Amino acid sequence: MSLRITASRLIANSRVITAKRALSLASRATLRPTAARQFVKPMVATRGLKQINFGGTTETVYERADWPREKLLEFFKNDTMALIGYGSQGYGQGLNMRDNGLNVVLGVRKNGASWKAAIEDGWVPGENLFEVNEAISKGTYIMNLLSDAAQSETWESIKPLLTKGKTLYFSHGFSPVFKDLTHVEPPKDIDVILVAPKGSGRTVRSLFKEGRGINSSYAVWNDVTGNAHEKAQALAVAVGSGYVYQTTFEKEVNSDIYGERGCLMGGIHGMFLAQYEVLRENGHSPSEAFNETVEEATQSLYPLIGKYGMDYMYDACSTTARRGALDWYPIFKDALKPVFQDLYESTKNGSETKRSLEFNSQPDYREKLEEELKIIRGMEIWRVGKEVRKLRPENQ
Ligand SMILES: NC(=O)c1ccc[n+]([C@@H]2O[C@H](COP(=O)([O-])OP(=O)(O)OC[C@H]3O[C@@H](n4cnc5c(N)ncnc54)[C@H](OP(=O)(O)O)[C@@H]3O)[C@@H](O)[C@H]2O)c1
């Protein structure tokens, strides 16, 4: 597909140049040496609480400006954040809170992969790095960032430690919402809150270091003290969010599980494969099929959709591409909507959770997963992709 230069494109180009400048500043910030225990002073980007009209529906969003650093430190001055689990989210949220000046202790299995990674990142055994239950006993906020399967496996030993006065925190509604399957039933006499960053923990960390912030949702399960909303909003900022919108535990888990199976991962993978296979079956070369399916999408079009929206794309593409896309998007939508409806139902009725828990709790789940990933790595499309990426000038 070719993009034509239009007046709006020229305006957009100037926006791209500004964005590029910002990007080069940001990447310089990311490239700073990251020695263990290096204190990263985030650049401060602040905005304020706002009522925003999202396409006709007004919502309140909470922004970093509502919680300047001094206010955060005052709010949490008597608290110890016991963050348990040091996977992707534990890493991002833990380091951000530490750099924000909060009192954080980490709880992970001794000598596991996370324990070693935590030491590399400057957490010190006996000082701010402990085994899970010991960290919980020290914390006033218990931030459960174990894997979702592990939250269920460890619940029996964790639950008695969640005594009155503590606050329980999750980054996914999974465990409490599907309590019939996970057996995670939070105590009724403590505040239970959620902050769910809309991205990987690595992004939670890198955006924070760039002075930017991840978008997150927050929710309250139990508000015993009357302060649970404020606690969640403050903690969202403390872990590195730029802005936060409110949801419920149920809506968070349903939208998240649905989204990752749909447009974020499963759906997009299925669509790439279908398009690629048809091109190959019609005699197109692997490089042509890959370029028309994945490379152009990820390198040219999707970043523009991210920056300016799909509506902009219709304005900026050739008349031929525009006519075809206008004719075909309703056909795709009608074909796919029943699949999305089935997926939402399967999410809402717990089938997706059940499947995930059953699969991820098997002792040999890593080996089984590896077999499936091996099949994906072996697919022609992704082997071709490896070669195509090598040809990008910046990779030579
Ligand atoms: N990853 C994301 O992009 C993302 C985004 C938003 C929200 N979330 C949510 O954030 C939470 C954490 O997810 P994550 O992806 O950061 O973590 P994860 O990679 O799924 O979990 C890793 C942590 O769980 C520990 N763990 C696993 N089994 C354990 C067991 N039986 N006993 C004790 N510890 C055990 C691991 O320790 P070892 O190293 O010792 O095995 C590791 O510290 C989840 O609720 C997830 O849904 C994740």
CATH number at residue 170: 3.40.50.720
Q: pLDDT digit string (tens) for 274-332?
A: 999 999 999 999 999 999 999 999 999 999 999 999 999 999 999 999 999 999 999 99
Rounded to whole angstroms, how far apart are CA atoms 165 and 170? 17
Rounded to whole angstroms, how far apart are CA atoms 38 and 69? 19
55 lies in a domain? Answer: yes
Give me the active site residues, please. Answer: 172
359 lies in a domain? Answer: yes
pLDDT, mean over the chain:
88
* 243/302 same-domain check: no
pLDDT value, residue 15: 36
Q: Which residue among 147, 244, 261 has the greatest number of ligand 1 atoms within 8 angstroms of its CB, and so is best to mutate?
A: 147
Ligand 1 atom closest to residue 84's alpha carbon, by position in its atom list: 43
Number of domains the chain contains: 2
8 lies in a domain? Answer: no
Which of 197, 224, 247 represents a domain boundary (last residue)?
Answer: 247
The answer to whether the beta carbons of residues 238 and 102 sit under 8 Å apart is yes
What distance in angstroms lies between residue 332's CA and the mean position of ligand 1's atoms? 35
Which two tokens mark 246?
């409110």
**Backbone phi and psi for residue 168, each to the nearest 5 degrees, phi listed first:** -100, 135
Q: Which residue among 86, 146, 169, 356 has the greatest number of ligand 1 atoms within 8 angstroms of its CB, and so is best to mutate?
A: 146
pLDDT value, residue 41: 52
Q: Which domain holds residue 374?
A: 261-395
Segment 51-79 shows an average pLDDT of 91
28 lies in a domain? Answer: no
* 208/287 same-domain check: no
List helix spans (H) across the chain: 7-30, 69-75, 88-99, 113-120, 132-138, 148-158, 174-177, 179-182, 201-209, 228-238, 249-261, 266-281, 286-290, 296, 302-308, 310-316, 319-348, 351-360, 365-378, 380-390
191 lies in a domain? Answer: yes
Q: pLDDT digit string (tens) for 21-63?
A: 232 223 323 322 333 444 455 544 445 567 888 888 888 888 8
* 92/240 same-domain check: yes
Q: Which residues contact 340 (CB under 8 A, 6 or more apart)?
A: 258, 262, 267
86 lies in a domain? Answer: yes
Percent of the residues in the chain that have a pLDDT greater than 90, as a whole number: 78
What distance in angstroms lies between residue 256's CA and the mean position of ligand 1's atoms? 16
**What is the amino acid identity at position 232?**
A
114 is in an annotated binding site: no
Residue 333: CB atoms within 10 Å: 10
Nearest one of 303, 239, 304 to 100, comparing CA atoms:
239
* 281/242 same-domain check: no
The residue written with tokens 């400006």 in the block is 65
Q: Atom 18 of ligand 1 has which residue's CA nearest to it?
A: 147
260 is in an annotated binding site: yes
Residues with CB under 6 A from ligand 1: 85-90, 108-109, 112-114, 132, 145-148, 150, 153-154, 171-172, 174, 196-197, 200-201
Query: Is it the case that residue 385 has pLDDT exceeding 50?
Result: yes
* 96/240 same-domain check: yes
